[in-house]
Structure 1
Amino acid sequence: MKTRAVRMYGKEDLRLEEFELPKIKDDEILVKVMSDSICMSTYKLVEQGKKHKRAPQNIDTNPVIVGHEFAGVIVEVGEKWKDQFKPGQKFAQQPALNYKGRLDSPGYSYEFCGGACTYCIMPHEVMELGCLLNYDGDSFFEASLGEPMSCIIGGYHANYHTNKKNYNHAMGTKVDGNILIMGGCGPMGLGAVSYGLQFENKPKRIVVTDISDDRIERAKSVIPEEKGAEKGIELKYVNTAKMEDPIKELMDLTEGHGFDDVFVYVPIKEVAEMGDKLLAFDGCMNFFAGPTNNQFSAEINLYNCHYTSTHILGTTGGNNDDLIEANDLAAKGLIEPAVMVTHVGGIDSIADATLNLPNIPGGKKLTYTQIDMPLTAIDDFEELGKTNPLFAKLDASCKAHRGLWNAEAEKILFDHFGVEY
């Protein structure tokens, strides 16, 4: 079977190509990819090429398919897995593999497995680790966004607080505590807000910082502060660039208590140091944002670490349970992964979008790999719709869903291009 795929041959070398896939082995599964959202981690991969820890050293002759936030439909099942999987079954997948100590991962390491393609082959380790999951949702894009949401969920579960009586760790963000999400008006930060509003360890308040009024206004439109109030949680967005004394003013929002849980969503030294200064007694700071510089560091107050029990950790990726939780919550409407998405495109847009990802404003770039379509901002649908009936329909659908991408819009796109699903 032929596939079209975006493959990496080296540093900043992405190519959309058509080639023949080999016949699957008895322990492999052939899948049709329907949606693939572009992750900043893929940009970091492409910026490093062979230097990336997950990239093979022979990519110049055996290029890898990029993209790891993908979902689709199973086409053919190898003999080993026929009792577990069936053709026509929708799937989601968890790319954060840990197979025999190797860092191999779909979208980073495999010649025939990644999300930026029309068809690919799932290697045996994906199934052996339980990372190919059944998906029953109405839309494919929510399954694609299940992967970044699982990373967010993993961060919430990994934070911890201590008990001086017996030293047991209470896992998760603090119940009735103060949460600070720094740099939180981007796609991942908004996912963290959406999840935090329904997390079982219900916080007292969630404060979200950014330095862009435009990003803050969009955040308020897709997750209004009133939505927090409905759940008995104080939700507040603030622009720290406009604060005369950000440390004092943020502390004042907690009545001087400080923040029990701090999530740093941008890899900026000054932001991490500010987060450390805002920790309450027994506060936990999660450095969530992954830097490209392997020498990245910041100054941390070890006096507070010693005397006020502050602690710092970092999380990357999520596990299978996190992905299952993400998909389940999205299916029930308890979280809205769509708040992340600001652009939609086809497979032909992936290479350029990935290479220029830091320079494209907005949130998640969602792509549908069975079609060709320029990467288009949802905000531009209205203007394009004046001359293009497709964008007129997409604009009406998104406006009917608070300006968000949605299952109806996905179906409109598939119907227009004649994509079977």
Structure 2
Amino acid sequence: MTFEQPKTMAAVVLYGKEDLRVEQLPVPVAGPGELVVKVGAALTCGTDLKVYRRGYHAMMLTPPIPFGHELAGVVTEVGSGVTEFAVGDRVVPLNSAPCDACYFCAKGQPNLCTDLLFNNGAYAEYLKIPARIVAKNTLRVPEGVPFEHAALTEPLACVVRGLEESGAQAGDSMVVIGAGPIGLMFMHAAELAGVDVIAVVKREDQVATAKLFGARQVVRVDEVDDIVAATRALTPDARGADIVIEAVATPATWEWAVGMVRKGGLVNFFGGPPSGTVVALDTNRLHYGDITLKASFHHTPSTSRTAFALITSGRFKAAEFLTGTATLDEVPAVFAKMMTRSTDAMRDIKTAIFPDGAIAR
């Protein structure tokens, strides 16, 4: 199979705070060990929204730079030395790969790799995949799995790692604070693992969505005077949940999380507030309650494969996460709309961006 690649392509470039532009850029050329992928579908993401709002990301990118990082597509060019992939293969390339040589990689923490290689530019017609990501974190997509479903692998891989790091087991109780895309993924992945999920949400329109993705019980912040007490009341003997996942990233929700967990339980601060944020926690409760506090950042090649297997198994409700479609030209408007979330009954979760302007399979 061969592909005729044009010399230029449309791509979305981030120039700074709330400044996205669709431009014509040269189509990338594969070097040794690299691939060029024709993007079949790319997805909007909460991290991309945060970067759009702030105009930068300290670890992943510095403007001006091609934007987006969740995608799947078809290999159109193979660099010298690549033997695992061929032109025409359907693939999902993850957005990073570790070095496997530094201190943190040796400690089994590749997500903290001191030379973690990131790749951005998913909102484009073509994307070059660096050799390290080709070798360590690119997966072949089976026929019949839509590109837009496969592209969910990256965020789900982060969630899978969060669940693994939290020690979630079937029969555990878990509170998930937040009903954004990541919070909903936590609810769904936890429910599939046999965990009893209580969701803490902000608005009425989020209740049905939380239940769709596996929350057995839902607490609305705007309906109770004491959100911590109301949530604990839904746990056996009001003792609190075994695990609490914080997926909002505000000081208030961090504090709620510590109040909602049982003695001996674990809180995972998954949502990351801006640098310099200060949170007040009850040290007496932490110490005498023997509470474990942790945070989870990013994914690993291992959790990427676990997430990918869950998506391709058909058990994961991939289609329900995709609530909108758009073309590359519409991406700036999509992100502008995401800044003021709709309060419609079925809120947007993720928008699938199709560079060809049609649903690609």
CA–CA separation in structure 1 for the residues paired with 2:290 and 2:214: 34
Relative to structure 1, the CA distance from residue 67 to residue 323 in structure 2 (aligned partners, 3 Å threshold; closer, same or farther) is: same
Relative to structure 1, the CA distance from residue 363 to residue 96 in structure 2 (aligned partners, 3 Å threshold; closer, same or farther) is: farther
Report SS of the residue matched to 1:209: strand
Residue aligning to 1:228: none
CA deviation map 1:120-143 (0-9, x unaligned): 211222124x11111115211111
Question: Do the aligned partners of 2:15 and 2:65 also contact (CA within 8 Å) in 1?
Answer: yes
CA–CA separation in structure 2 for the residues paired with 1:251 and 1:192: 19
Task: Give the partner amino acid of 1:196.
Answer: A
Deviation at 1:22, TM superposition (A): 4.5
CA–CA separation in structure 1 for the residues paired with 2:52 and 2:223: 35
1:266 to 2:248 alignment = yes
1:367 to 2:349 alignment = no
Deviation at 1:49, TM superposition (A): 3.5
1:275 to 2:270 alignment = no
CA–CA separation in structure 2 for the residues paired with 1:93 and 1:51: 20
Residue aligning to 1:190: 184
Residue aligning to 2:67: 66
Relative to structure 1, the CA distance from residue 280 to residue 150 in structure 2 (aligned partners, 3 Å threshold; closer, same or farther) is: same
Deviation at 1:87, TM superposition (A): 0.8
Report SS of the residue matched to 2:49: helix
Task: Give the partner amino acid of 1:219.
Answer: A
Report SS of the residue matched to 1:322: helix
Residue aligning to 1:342: 323
Deviation at 1:74, TM superposition (A): 0.7
Question: Do the aligned partners of 2:28 and 2:127 also contact (CA within 8 Å) in 1?
Answer: no
Residue aligning to 1:250: 231
1:149 to 2:156 alignment = yes
CA–CA separation in structure 1 for the residues paired with 2:285 and 2:147: 46
Deviation at 1:70, TM superposition (A): 0.6
CA–CA separation in structure 2 for the residues paired with 1:198 and 1:51: 32
Deviation at 1:150, TM superposition (A): 1.1
Unaligned runs of 5+ in 1: 108-113, 160-171, 226-234, 373-412
Deviation at 1:275, TM superposition (A): 1.2
CA–CA separation in structure 1 for the residues paired with 2:270 and 2:57: 22
Task: Find the partner of 1:17 among 12, 23, 32.
Answer: 23
Task: Find the partner of 2:61 among 52, 55, 66.
Answer: 55
Question: Do the aligned partners of 1:265 and 1:288 also contact (CA within 8 Å) in 2?
Answer: yes
Relative to structure 1, the CA distance from residue 257 to residue 45 in structure 2 (aligned partners, 3 Å threshold; closer, same or farther) is: same
Residue aligning to 1:43: 49
Task: Give the partner amino acid of 2:208.
Answer: E
Relative to structure 1, the CA distance from residue 312 to residue 5 in structure 2 (aligned partners, 3 Å threshold; closer, same or farther) is: same
Aligned CA RMSD, in angstroms, stands at 2.1
CA–CA separation in structure 2 for the residues paired with 1:297 and 1:209: 22
Task: Give the partner amino acid of 1:67.
Answer: G
Report SS of the residue matched to 1:120: strand
1:7 to 2:13 alignment = yes
Task: Give the partner amino acid of 1:363.
Answer: D
| More off after superposition, 314-323 vs 348-357 | 348-357
Residue aligning to 2:297: 316
Question: Do the aligned partners of 2:219 and 2:230 also contact (CA within 8 Å) in 1?
Answer: no
Residue aligning to 2:33: 27
Relative to structure 1, the CA distance from residue 360 to residue 252 in structure 2 (aligned partners, 3 Å threshold; closer, same or farther) is: closer
1:80 to 2:81 alignment = yes
Report SS of the residue matched to 1:9: strand
Deviation at 1:104, TM superposition (A): 4.1
Deviation at 1:355, TM superposition (A): 4.2
Question: Do the aligned partners of 1:37 and 1:364 also contact (CA within 8 Å) in 2?
Answer: no
Deviation at 1:15, TM superposition (A): 1.3
Deviation at 1:327, TM superposition (A): 1.9
TM superposition score normalised by structure 2 = 0.86
Task: Give the partner amino acid of 2:22.
Answer: L
Deviation at 1:32, TM superposition (A): 0.5
CA–CA separation in structure 2 for the residues paired with 1:332 and 1:24: 31
Question: Do the aligned partners of 1:258 and 1:278 also contact (CA within 8 Å) in 2?
Answer: yes
Deviation at 1:67, TM superposition (A): 0.6
Question: Do the aligned partners of 1:93 and 1:133 also contact (CA within 8 Å) in 2?
Answer: yes
Task: Give the partner amino acid of 1:180.
Answer: V
CA–CA separation in structure 1 for the residues paired with 2:305 and 2:250: 31
Question: Do the aligned partners of 2:11 and 2:66 also contact (CA within 8 Å) in 1?
Answer: yes
CA deviation map 1:369-389 (0-9, x unaligned): 3234xxxxxxxxxxxxxxxxx
Relative to structure 1, the CA distance from residue 24 to residue 330 in structure 2 (aligned partners, 3 Å threshold; closer, same or farther) is: closer
1:297 to 2:258 alignment = no
Structure with greater Cα Rg: 1
Alignment of 1:120-159 (within 5 A): 120-128=127-135, 130-136=136-142, 137-159=144-166
Residue aligning to 2:269: 287
